[in-house]
A and B are shown apart, each in its own frame.
Chain A
Amino acid sequence: MSEILKGRAWVFGDDVDTDLIYHNKYLAETDPKNMPQYAFEYFPGKEHFAKEVKPGDFVVGGKNFGAGSSREHAIYCIKYAGVPVILAETCSRIYYRNAINNGYPVLFVKGFSDAIKEGKIKDGDQLEVELSTGTIKDVTSGHQFHGDAVSDLENDIMQAGGLMGYLKAEAKKKK
């Protein structure tokens, strides 16, 4: 039996760009652990995210989450806030790659964009997420969703804790 993660949903819509997640203004910060204090500061109506997010909460997005810049701050500010996984219908390519390379899971969930618009998943809903199967239950609304599994290589990188761990493990294998 794999672990079921439980937490509250923070719901964002489609095309959430990297400036909304983590603004340019704070790019000179390079310590990932200091980044959560700036998360979503520029997102209208979610300015309180940084203060109120609790470890275990989920970030929920629609289509094209993380559009724009290649900054990894936009991953770190969520990861180090204690959010265990990002749930989105789709993600921008660089954003997703940055997540994988940092050993951070993103679950792609079909129909999430519409589900958000239709209010089937809302801010503050209690979610139960099983990463191994991709099953997401919104306990508050009663709706259930299914996420995609990641590819083998992506999974290997994640299992090694990210790209650094993966490269080290690969180098060891060759010796």
Chain B
Amino acid sequence: MGKTFAEKALGRAAGYDVTANQVVTVEPDWCMSHDNGAPIARIFKKIGVKNVWKPERIVFILDHAVPAPSSDHAVNHKEVREFSAEQGIKHFYDVTSDGGVCHQKMCEEGFALPGLIMVGSDSHTCTYGAYGAFSTGIGRSEMAAAWATGKIWFKVPESMKVVVTGKFKPGVSAKDFILKFIGDVKADGADYMSVEFHGDGIENMSIAERMTLCNMGIEFGAKNAVCKPDHKVLEAIKDNAKCDCWEPLWADEDAVYAAEYSYDLADIEPCVAKPHTVDNYAPISEVKGTKIHEVFLGSCTNGRIEDLRAAAAILKGKKIAVRTIVIPASWTVYRQAMKEGLLDIFLDSGCVICNPGCGPCMGNHEGILAPTEVAISTANRNFKGRMGDKESFIYLASPMTVAASAIKGEISDPREAL
């Protein structure tokens, strides 16, 4: 009987053969925290261990509220800086032009690597599966314990196989596919499971698109989500891998799955997730014409250069009808967008460009919604009140769909704007 990806990755880390439902204790390759490194440091100090197990394996990336919009946030940042200095944390991305959204940085800086065990104190840590890593989000107490002991327990998850074939039609993208998929399997569709994306449809996708899929894994309950680390991944990491401890792993042909699905990308159409759940799928035809007050293009889901290019292609030479906030996912992305003239396109069309970070995604700053306001956003969650007032509304969509909607001031079909 063949092995799934999760069985191989956790078995490699444990040092022995494992199968689904077995409990293993492993040493994580990377432990990532953002602004919440501060409360974790406070928990860590209560454990009674003086030093973290390996300071070179811990990564801090400030992104949730940068630069600090309140003194509470500033205190957290200050504590992360102090703890980093105290513990000799080498990989610390402060509020500088080296920074950006933590998941974007983990990928572009070469931390996300095939076969590694990566944990982060953020639920979207599952993003690194785009590089073939086993990565998952954990809570603060658990992260503090991992810093102290260098160990973490996992139940080897059962796996779900999603076979994706074909290519998107114009105006359709990875975000549309994953929103459709979540609408089908629902928010708990893969609870506790490792989700593997297979097929030529995934091979055809850029790493950026695969990141969008894996990023949304948590939105249907997955423990981790992963794509096969192919030549595109190996090419991307060849010059900047942060360690040489990686190994490409993939599921065997005869691995056993708890659930299997198959999709043809040619069948996917532009869509949204309606308020207030990510699985509240609607094809664009159903919501077209819905009035909006704010557009957000950015986040760890869709703030990459590929996303900005797709939106800029639609916005070029047009004026926006509602306030539109553009936030590149990192300063590397920002610079690239600047070089390609994308920032000029956004500014010419009337968009506001904010500094890289999480922005309004979880309602911290840079675009909070007023009561009754409606936003369309490329982020990953539309929970009630997430971007501001509890009587506000969030639709999730692709970069192309939000760009087309920005021009009309209402939810619009991107195929008509191409």
Contact of A94 among B39, B72, B123 (CB under 8 A): B123
Contact of A69 among B123, B142, B277 (CB under 8 A): B123
A116 to B390 Cα, complex, angstroms: 25
- A158 to chain B minimum Cβ distance, whole angstroms, is 13
A102 to B153 Cα, complex, angstroms: 15
- Contact of A98 with B139 in the complex, beta carbons under 8 Å: yes
- Is B47 interfacial (CB-CB < 8 Å)? yes
A87 to B266 Cα, complex, angstroms: 42
Known: A92-B191, A92-B221, A151-B23. A102 touches B384 (CB 8 A): no
A15 to B218 Cα, complex, angstroms: 13
A20 to B39 Cα, complex, angstroms: 22
- Is B212 interfacial (CB-CB < 8 Å)? no
Known: A17-B383, A67-B221, A93-B192. A167 touches B149 (CB 8 A): yes
B contact face: mostly helix, strand, loop, or mixed = loop
Looking at B76, B137, B386, the one whose CB has the most chain A CB atoms below 10 A away is B386
A52 to B383 Cα, complex, angstroms: 24
> Which residues of B are found within 8 Å of A42, using beta-carbon distances?
384-385, 390
A63 to B39 Cα, complex, angstroms: 30
- Is A25 interfacial (CB-CB < 8 Å)? yes
Contact of A15 among B138, B187, B386 (CB under 8 A): B187
A contact face: mostly helix, strand, loop, or mixed = loop
A92 to B138 Cα, complex, angstroms: 12
Contact of B188 among A28, A64, A69 (CB under 8 A): A64
| Mask of A29-68 contacts with B, CB within 8 angstroms, 1/0 | 0100000000001101000000000000000000110011
| Mask of B28-61 contacts with A, CB within 8 angstroms, 1/0 | 0000000000110010001110000000000000
- Is B73 interfacial (CB-CB < 8 Å)? yes
- B83 to chain A minimum Cβ distance, whole angstroms, is 14
Known: A24-B364, A28-B72. A90 touches B191 (CB 8 A): yes
- Is B290 interfacial (CB-CB < 8 Å)? no
A155 to B383 Cα, complex, angstroms: 32
- A67 to chain B minimum Cβ distance, whole angstroms, is 5
> Which residues of B are found within 8 Å of A167, using beta-carbon distances?
47, 145, 148-149
Among residues 82 to 108 in chain A, which have CB atoms less than 8 Å away from a CB atom of chain B? 90, 92-94, 97-98, 101-102
A59 to B377 Cα, complex, angstroms: 32
A144 to B196 Cα, complex, angstroms: 39
Known: A72-B141, A93-B192. A28 touches B70 (CB 8 A): yes
- Is B362 interfacial (CB-CB < 8 Å)? yes
Known: A42-B385, A93-B192. A98 touches B145 (CB 8 A): no
- Contact of B73 with A28 in the complex, beta carbons under 8 Å: yes
Known: A15-B188, A63-B188, A163-B145. A28 touches B123 (CB 8 A): no
A168 to B386 Cα, complex, angstroms: 37
A/B interface sample: 18 pairs, CB < 8 A = A15-B188, A15-B279, A17-B383, A18-B383, A24-B363, A30-B38, A64-B221, A70-B122, A70-B139, A72-B140, A93-B192, A94-B139, A98-B142, A101-B141, A151-B23, A153-B23, A163-B141, A164-B145
> Which residues of A are found within 8 Å of B76, using beta-carbon distances?
28
- A127 to chain B minimum Cβ distance, whole angstroms, is 24
| Mask of B110-130 contacts with A, CB within 8 angstroms, 1/0 | 000000000001110000000
> Which residues of A are found within 8 Å of B137, using beta-carbon distances?
70, 94
- Is B274 interfacial (CB-CB < 8 Å)? no
